[in-house]
Amino acid sequence: MNKTFPKDFLWGASISAHQTEGAYATDGKGLSVQDTRPRDNHEIADFTVAVDHYHHYKEDIALLAELGIKIFRFSIAWTRIFPHGRGEINQKGLDHYSDVIDELLKYHIQPYITLSHFDLPQALEDEGGWSNRATVTAFKEYAETLFKAYGDRVTHWLTINEPNIMLLVDRKILGKEIPLNEKYQQFHHLMMAEKYAFDRCHTLVPGGQIGPVPNISLVYPATSKPEDNQAALYFNSVRNWAYLDFACFGRYNAVFSDYLCQNNIDITFAPGDADLMKTALPDFVAMNFYTTVTVEQPTTTGDMKNGISDQQSEDIMERGFYKGFTNTYLKKNAFNWTIDPLGLKTTLQTLYDRYHLPIIITENGLGAEDHLTDDEKIHDEYRIDYLAQHTEQCLAAIHAGVELIGYSPWSAIDLISVHEGIKKRYGFIYVDRTDADEKAQKRYKKDSFYWYQKLIEEG
């Protein structure tokens, strides 16, 4: 059996706009919820300068070309195109991404563009954000604008980054908690926005392909106790399958529906939703994978404090159905994230078995504190180790019959972690700044850069 990756495998690297670009109010950009997000910890960097990718994009893309990537996943900041979420187009914003796309194509790197990565325009948030149906319409118009502007050069699109994480860890990502009832109305709106994007992409982009991009963490039961298995069933549905069943099958997952029912949550549909749900479908599934989750049955509600189990948190935010459990078979990284490479293979197999669509991994990586040595090197062997173990499982999944078409890890360059600043780095390219000191953001290639370059070359 051939033990190398297919020749046309899409090796890539990923970033998002708000975590890299900086220039938060430059060239007419409006504010997003990430610019205004209240922070618990003011000692970590915010997104005002980030790693100044907005001004360094040519240098960054040249480095990525040297790395050898075939695709680059990045997001467009909605507030550069429509500073207030809708209305008049900001031409400078539109031109900026046109230049970025041309720069990538110059090096034969194919853009994979995420329409929105956690950065809803603040002006729309002020009108109720994703709770307000009008945001779906604004998103549709925004997506149409991008498809029309770039569809001549960009064929591959991703919808809304990790709607599941946005809703499940709302306070960390959005800086506020969303009441349960409102949260699942937001779910419906986010999913319908995605449906419009599928539909408009297929209509407006010649040969356009588009997929959803959830964060998938397979959920294990803590023991073989039937009750723990029920807990895992529910959390798998609420965390993972609800989103992909909606996107790929156009239906509410049945276990998720029971969860909504038990929480007395009613969803309001708009006219036409039921039809569009069924007819607008994705071409592939993009998946962000970092970890797996293990849960047990909650014993009493006393186990839960503020909706998070005392014993262990992971992404367990909702009371009553499941309780996080420390899986002693798995190690954790320095930031307390469980590491489970074999879990990636199992996740890929499960996903492929459910949806039978090509899969591309659009995030996977290790957040760690890196150090620039006196001779300007970054010896990040821990990251190489993580990526080697995970790519090995990608290969195993391919040989087990999964149609995995690409791997685009997080992240191309160092960026500001969503809630832990720049001390937690992910990139192949080190950016010299700290949380407290922006410095000149000089770029350096890490050891992992050379490791990934070789993997791409040799497969």
Residue 251's SS3 state is coil
What are the residues facing 332 on neighbouring strands? 338
Is 415 within 8 Å of 51 (Cβ atoms)? yes
Nearest approach, Cβ of 276 to ligand BG6 (angstroms)?
A: 26
Among candidate residues 363, 369, 457, 458, the one labeled active-site is: 363
Counting contacts by CB under 6 A, is residue 288 touching ligand BG6?
A: yes
Number of residues that bind ligand BG6 (CB under 6 A): 15
Residue nearer to ligand BG6 on the CB measure, 200 or 446: 446
135 neighbors 120 (Cβ within 8 angstroms): yes
| Cβ-contact 366, 426 below 8 angstroms | yes
Q: Does 161 bind ligand BG6 (CB under 6 A)?
A: yes
Site for ligand BG6 in 200-239 (CB under 6 A): 215
| Residue 347 makes contact with ligand BG6 by CB under 6 A | no
Q: Is 305 helix (H, G, I), strand (E, B) or coil?
A: strand
| Phi, psi of 450, deg, nearest 5 | -70, -35
367 near ligand BG6, rule: CB under 6 A? yes
Q: What is the DSSP string of 180-224?
A: HHHHHHHHHHHHHHHHHHHHHHHHHSTT-EEEEE-B---EEESSS
User: Residue from 60, 228, 296, 363 that binds ligand BG6 (CB under 6 A)?
Assistant: 363
Range list of H helices, 322-446: 341-355, 381-399
**Is residue 165 close enough to count as binding ligand BG6 by CB under 6 A?**
yes
- Tell me: does residue 16 bind ligand BG6 (CB under 6 A): yes
Q: Could you say whether residue 253 binds ligand BG6 (CB under 6 A)? A: no
Catalytic residue flag (residue 363): yes
CA separation for the pair 267, 444 (Å, rounded): 49
Binding mask 404-443 for ligand BG6 (x = CB under 6 A): ------x------xxxx---x-------------------
Q: Of 158 and 178, which has the nearer Cβ to ligand BG6?
A: 158
- Does residue 159 interact with ligand BG6 by CB under 6 A? no
Dihedral angle sign, alpha carbons of residues 24, 25, 28, 32: positive
| Between 153 and 171, CB nearer to ligand BG6 | 171
- Judged by the rule CB under 6 A, the positions of this chain that interact with ligand BG6 are 16, 19, 161-162, 165, 215, 288, 363, 367, 410, 417-420, 424
Active-site residues, by number, are 363
